[in-house]
Amino acid sequence: MDKLLLCDTCVIIDYINGNSTLLSDLKERHFILFVNSVIEMELLQGAHDKEELKKIGQKLNTFRRLEISQDILYIATTLIRKYSLSHNMQLPDSVIAATASVYDVPLLTYNTRDFKYIPDVKILKPSQVD
């Protein structure tokens, strides 16, 4: 069985900054690591200069992409309607959660509080990956 993970932005930031070997270790253990376009855009938007932008691009090339379909956008919109007022659900998180749900891939994140109330999304903290 394939070991698949959608990596949240916060986990990839640690990887890019060299603060964690988690993603390198997971790749060595044959996990297939994914991002979507929203995660990619969040990372690129956080670059402070061209050199950092290049570094982010190089690191992102080591991940597989999950396409954002109309179904994902529909679910993301539903999540915003349901959780924006009660849980301060933000647009990027709604698309990330919907992507994990549609593709049935666990979401690897440090920010479990941003997603724990969404029933169709399996959330994993880095310490929970086996």
Question: Using one digit for the tens of pLDDT, what is the confidence trace for 44-75?
Answer: 999 999 999 999 999 999 999 999 999 999 99
Distance CA 35, CA 58 (A): 14
What pLDDT, on a 0 to 100 scale, did the predictor assign at position 20?
A: 80
What pTM did the predictor assign?
Answer: 0.94
The set of residues, in sequence order, having a beta carbon less than 8 Å from that of 107 and lying 6+ positions away, is 5, 6, 8, 96, 97, 100, 115, 121, 122, 123, 124
Inter-residue contact 6 to 93 (CB < 8 Å):
no
In a domain, 42, yes or no: yes
Q: Is the pLDDT of residue 2 over 80?
A: no
- Say how far apart CA 4 and CA 27 lie, in whole Å: 10
CATH number at residue 61: 3.40.50.1010
Residue 30, in any domain of the structure = yes
Mean pLDDT of the chain: 95
The mean-pLDDT minimum among 7-11, 21-25, 42-46, 88-92 falls in 21-25
How high is the pLDDT of residue 44? 97
CB 1 within 8 A of CB 105: no
Q: Is residue 19 part of a domain?
A: yes
| Predicted local confidence at residue 1, as pLDDT | 52
**Range of the structural domain that residue 26 is part of:** 3-66+104-128
Average pLDDT over residues 97-117: 97
Total domain count for the chain? 1
In a domain, 114, yes or no: yes
**Does residue 72 form part of some domain?**
no
